[in-house]
Amino acid sequence: MFNSVRLLLALLIILLIVPQTPTENFLLRKLHEIGLFANYNEAKWFLNFFTWFSIFLFLILTFFYTLQN
């Protein structure tokens, strides 16, 4: 169970990071077009926060998994 959660989180992180290039950020453009955020900067902040939060969550889960074994 724990391994599948880590696998899903790792795939989520890959899907978050890969489209974010310096010249074209597909996720940020789509997130802004949805209209969920008031402006482009809010969408950019949220995507940046969510990406780093996911990375740290993955690292914490991996740490706790190694303590169990």
Residue type, 5: V
Give per-residue pLDDT as tens, 42-67.
Answer: 999 999 999 999 999 999 999 988 88
Please count the other Cβ atoms lying within 10 Å of the Cβ belonging to residue 47: 19
CA distance 4 to 61: 11
Pick from 61, 58, 48: nearest CA to 12: 58
pTM: 0.82
Question: Would you call 50 helix, strand, or coil by DSSP?
Answer: helix
Nearest 5°: phi and psi at 35? 90, 15
